[in-house]
Amino acid sequence: MAPDGVKRLIMAVNGQYPGPTLIADWGDIMVVNVKNSLENNGTGIHFHGLRQLNSNGADGTNGITECPIAPGQTKTYMFRCTQHGTSWYHSHYSVQYGDGVLGGIIINGPADAGYDEDLGVFLLNDWYYTPSFTLADAAAHSMTGPPRADNGLINGTMKSPDGTLGEYNKIQVEKGRSYRLRVANVGISDHYHFSIDGHNLTVISSDFVPVVPFTTSSISLGVGQRYDVVINADQDIDLYWIRSDPDGSCSNNRNRGNIKAILAYMAPGNAEPTSTRHGDIPDACEDMAVTPTVANTVPSNRFADAVQGLEMSVNITQQNGPLIHWYINGSAMAIDWSYPTMQYVLDGNTSWPEEMNLVELDEADEWYYFVLQTVQGSSVNLPHPIHLHGHDFYILGSGPGVWNGNIDGLQFDNPPRRDTAMLPAGGYLILAFPADNPGAWLMHCHIPFHVGQGFSLQFLERVDEIESTVDVDAYNSECAAWRDYYDGSQIYSQTDSGL
CA 272, distance to chain mean position in Å, is: 32
- Taken in order 335, 338, 340, 343, the sign of the CA dihedral is negative
Q: Look at residue 269 in the predicted model and tell me its pLDDT.
A: 81
User: Average pLDDT of 12-22?
Assistant: 99
Q: Is the pLDDT at 460 greater than 80, yes or no?
A: yes
The answer to whether residue 415 scores a pLDDT higher than 80 is: yes
The mean predicted confidence, pLDDT, of the chain is: 96
Q: Which domains does the chain have, with CATH numbers?
A: 303-485 (2.60.40.420)
Residue 301, pLDDT > 80, answer yes
- Cis peptide preceding 18, ω within 30 of 0: yes
In 3D space, the residue among 447, 497, 389 whose CA is nearest the CA of residue 60 turns out to be: 389
pLDDT tens for 329-342 read 999 999 999 999 99
Please state the length of the chain. 499
pTM > 0.85: yes
Which of 184, 173, 156 has the alpha carbon at shortest distance from 118?
173
- Higher-confidence position of 489 and 415: 415
pLDDT (0 to 100) of residue 58: 99
Residue 270 has a pLDDT of 84
Distance CA 342, CA 466 (A): 8
pLDDT value at residue 492: 86
CB 452 within 8 A of CB 497: yes
- Quote the DSSP letter at residue 258: -
Asked if residue 379 has pLDDT above 70, the reply is no
From 156-170, 215-229, 293-307, 367-381, the region with the lowest mean pLDDT:
367-381
Q: How far apart are CA 10 and CA 41, in angstroms?
A: 13
- CB distance 308 to 368 below 8 Å: yes
Region 463-482: what's the mean pLDDT?
98
The number of C-alpha atoms within 13 Å of 412 and in the hemisphere containing its C-beta is 13
pLDDT bin (cut points 50, 70, 90) of residue 241 is: very high
Q: Which residues lie closer than 8 Å to 186 by C-beta, 6 or more apart? A: 18, 88, 90, 97, 102, 104, 123, 124, 125, 223, 224
Rounded to an integer, what distance in angstroms lies between the CA atom of residue 358 and that of residue 337?
16
For 173-213, the pLDDT digits (tens) are 999 999 999 999 999 999 999 999 999 999 999 999 999 99
DSSP state of 21: E
Whether pLDDT at 295 is above 90:
yes
Task: Reply yes or no on whether the pLDDT at 139 is more than 80.
Answer: yes
67: which DSSP letter? P
Dihedral sign from CA coordinates of 214, 284, 166, 446: negative
Q: Residue 242 burial (CB < 10 Å; 0-12/13-18/19+)? A: buried
Cβ-count burial 145-184 (b if 16+ within 10 Å, e if not): bbbebbbbbbbbbbbbbeeeebebbbbebeeeebbbbbbb
E strands present in 163-321: 170-172, 178-185, 192-196, 201-206, 209-216, 219-221, 226-232, 239-246, 260-264, 308-318
